[in-house]
Structures are given as C-alpha cells and as structure tokens.
Amino acid sequence: MGYTIIDILDKAIDIAYRRQKLYIEISNQPYQLPVVKILSKVLADSVNKMLIYYKKLKEEVDDNVEIIDFVIYDKVSFLISEYNLRMHTTDVKTPKEFICFSIDFEKEILALFLDIQGRLVNDSNNTTSITYTILTDIIKIKVSLINDLESHR
C-alpha cells in the first residue's frame, strides 16, 4: 500500500495540533495583554475548526484515491518535518505584533501547502485528482484566513 492524501492529511492534522498548542500557550502567558489572549483563543478555535475539517476529509476519502509516488511523498514528508522544526512561539507585546506574527505564521503554512500541491503535479491530469482538489480547498481556506487577518492589521 502506497501513500495517499490521507497521509498528507495526517501530517496536516499534526501541524494543526502544534499550531493550536502554540496559540493556547500565547493565550496562557500571564503577562499577556487581554486583547492578545482573546485573539490567540480565537485563532486556536479557528485551528480547531480546521482539525475537524481535516478529519472529515479523511473520512470522505475512499480507498480508490490515487497513490502518491514514494519519491514525491518522501520530499513532502521532509518539507513538513522541516516546517515543524521551524515552528516556534513568540513574545508579542501588542495586538498588532500578534496579528503580524499570525499572518506570517499562516503564510508559512500556506507556502507549505502550495509547495506540496506543486510537487504533486506531474502533468495536467494531476490537476483533476482528488489529492489536488483537496489541497486546493485547503489552500483557499488558508488564503481566506490570511486575508481576514490582514484586514485587521
């Protein structure tokens, strides 16, 4: 059995749990401004919604989903591992700093998903695959979140 979008969704779920933990850590910092605590809780809730979405997607994917080439999956797995190593908390002091941090954080995740999606396209037939479609939907949600955050900058 080879790798599929389900394996990528498992890694996305892991990233989302890490993001949620980071936002919760920020909201629990005792010296943090109340507005930053609220913003971080809102983003933690947003991540929780994404977790539910990822899990729902996993349930909807059937056994006939296309297999991802091992070499490509290995590169994707490496990219995700590298991303996880760079994930860090921050010591923001103002709501504006927190929103800027969050925008950058979400843009890094967007870049990761775009990179993954790009690596999965070998020819024009790949753009109609279930894997490509699922990643496109995830990317649209990320872009929407970033746009929403940027509107509050």
Q: What is the pLDDT of residue 123?
A: 65
Q: What is the pLDDT of residue 99?
A: 94
CA-based torsion, 78, 132, 43, 36: positive or negative: positive
| Partners of 68 in the β-ladder | 3
Q: What is the pLDDT of residue 124?
A: 64
Q: What is the pLDDT of residue 101?
A: 92
Q: What is the pLDDT of residue 127?
A: 75
Structure tokens at 58: 């996993």
Structure tokens at 139: 């990317």
Q: What is the pLDDT of residue 74?
A: 93
Q: Are 141 and 114 in contact (CB under 8 A)?
A: no
Distance CA 115, CA 143 (A): 14
SS3 at position 14: helix
Domain boundaries, the chain: 5-151
Q: What is the pLDDT of residue 57?
A: 93
Q: What is the pLDDT of residue 87?
A: 78
Q: Phi/psi of residue 3, each to 5°?
A: -85, 145
CA-based torsion, 102, 106, 109, 111: positive or negative: negative
Tell me which of 3.30.200, 3.90.930, 1.20.1260, 2.60.120 is the CATH number of domain 5-151: 1.20.1260
Which residue is it, tokens 């919604």? Answer: 49
Q: Phi/psi of residue 68, each to 5°?
A: -90, 130
Residue 128 DSSP label: G
Q: Are 112 and 80 in contact (CB under 8 A)?
A: yes
10-residue stretch averages of pLDDT, the chain, 153 residues long: 89 94 92 93 95 94 86 92 83 90 93 93 75 94 95 86
